[in-house]
Amino acid sequence: MKDITLYTWHTCPFCRKAKRLLNENGYDFTEIDIEDTPEKKEELTKEYGQHTVPYVFVGDELIGGSSDLEELLNNNEFEVIVQG
Protein backbone atom coordinates (compact mmCIF):
# COMPACT_ATOMS: atom_id res chain seq x y z
CA MET A 1 0.00 0.00 0.00
CA LYS A 2 1.28 3.46 -0.92
CA ASP A 3 1.61 6.19 1.71
CA ILE A 4 -1.00 8.94 1.77
CA THR A 5 0.19 12.47 2.56
CA LEU A 6 -1.87 15.62 2.93
CA TYR A 7 -0.40 19.11 2.86
CA THR A 8 -2.92 21.25 4.71
CA TRP A 9 -3.73 24.50 6.47
CA HIS A 10 -5.22 24.12 9.93
CA THR A 11 -7.90 26.75 9.13
CA CYS A 12 -9.00 25.18 5.83
CA PRO A 13 -12.46 23.55 5.73
CA PHE A 14 -11.51 21.55 2.62
CA CYS A 15 -8.51 20.14 4.47
CA ARG A 16 -10.77 19.06 7.31
CA LYS A 17 -13.09 17.45 4.77
CA ALA A 18 -10.25 15.48 3.17
CA LYS A 19 -9.07 14.25 6.57
CA ARG A 20 -12.63 13.27 7.51
CA LEU A 21 -13.09 11.35 4.24
CA LEU A 22 -9.86 9.43 4.74
CA ASN A 23 -10.68 8.67 8.37
CA GLU A 24 -14.24 7.54 7.54
CA ASN A 25 -12.89 5.20 4.88
CA GLY A 26 -10.22 3.73 7.15
CA TYR A 27 -7.11 5.20 5.55
CA ASP A 28 -4.06 6.19 7.56
CA PHE A 29 -2.29 9.31 6.37
CA THR A 30 0.40 11.78 7.25
CA GLU A 31 -0.63 15.41 7.59
CA ILE A 32 1.84 18.23 7.01
CA ASP A 33 0.46 21.65 7.99
CA ILE A 34 1.99 24.28 5.70
CA GLU A 35 -0.10 27.28 6.75
CA ASP A 36 2.85 28.88 8.51
CA THR A 37 5.37 27.96 5.79
CA PRO A 38 4.38 29.94 2.68
CA GLU A 39 7.59 28.88 0.94
CA LYS A 40 6.40 25.23 0.97
CA LYS A 41 3.02 26.26 -0.47
CA GLU A 42 4.82 28.24 -3.17
CA GLU A 43 7.06 25.25 -3.94
CA LEU A 44 4.07 22.92 -4.28
CA THR A 45 2.18 25.41 -6.45
CA LYS A 46 5.17 25.83 -8.78
CA GLU A 47 5.79 22.10 -9.06
CA TYR A 48 2.20 20.89 -9.45
CA GLY A 49 0.22 23.93 -10.62
CA GLN A 50 -2.41 23.49 -7.92
CA HIS A 51 -3.16 26.71 -6.06
CA THR A 52 -5.39 25.40 -3.28
CA VAL A 53 -5.01 23.15 -0.25
CA PRO A 54 -5.19 20.35 0.56
CA TYR A 55 -2.63 18.68 -1.63
CA VAL A 56 -3.48 14.98 -1.48
CA PHE A 57 -0.63 12.68 -2.45
CA VAL A 58 -0.64 8.92 -2.84
CA GLY A 59 2.97 7.89 -2.91
CA ASP A 60 4.68 10.53 -5.04
CA GLU A 61 1.57 11.26 -7.13
CA LEU A 62 -0.63 14.30 -6.51
CA ILE A 63 -4.24 13.21 -6.92
CA GLY A 64 -5.59 16.72 -6.29
CA GLY A 65 -7.62 18.26 -3.51
CA SER A 66 -10.58 17.26 -1.38
CA SER A 67 -13.11 17.20 -4.25
CA ASP A 68 -10.78 14.98 -6.30
CA LEU A 69 -10.35 12.68 -3.31
CA GLU A 70 -14.10 12.53 -2.75
CA GLU A 71 -14.74 11.66 -6.39
CA LEU A 72 -12.13 8.88 -6.35
CA LEU A 73 -13.61 7.46 -3.15
CA ASN A 74 -17.16 7.63 -4.50
CA ASN A 75 -16.12 5.83 -7.70
CA ASN A 76 -14.15 3.19 -5.78
CA GLU A 77 -10.99 4.25 -7.64
CA PHE A 78 -8.99 5.46 -4.63
CA GLU A 79 -8.31 1.95 -3.35
CA VAL A 80 -6.85 0.98 -6.72
CA ILE A 81 -4.51 3.96 -6.63
CA VAL A 82 -3.45 3.28 -3.04
CA GLN A 83 -2.81 -0.39 -3.74
CA GLY A 84 -0.82 0.55 -6.85
Query: pLDDT tens for residues 36-73?
Result: 999 999 999 999 999 999 999 999 999 999 999 999 99
What is the tally of structural domains in the chain?
A: 1
**pLDDT-derived band at 21, boundaries 50, 70, 90:** very high
The values of phi and psi at residue 61, to 5°, are -100, 125
Q: Is the dihedral of CA 40, 42, 46, 52 positive or negative?
A: positive
Q: How far apart are CA 49 and CA 65, in angstroms?
A: 12
Q: Give the pLDDT of residue 20.
A: 98
Q: What is the CATH number of the domain that holds 70?
A: 3.40.30.10
Q: Give the pLDDT of residue 78.
A: 97
Q: How far apart are CA 8 and CA 24, in angstroms?
A: 18
- Residue 77 sits in which domain range? 4-83
Asked if pLDDT for residue 84 goes beyond 90, the answer is no
Q: Quote the pTM value.
A: 0.94
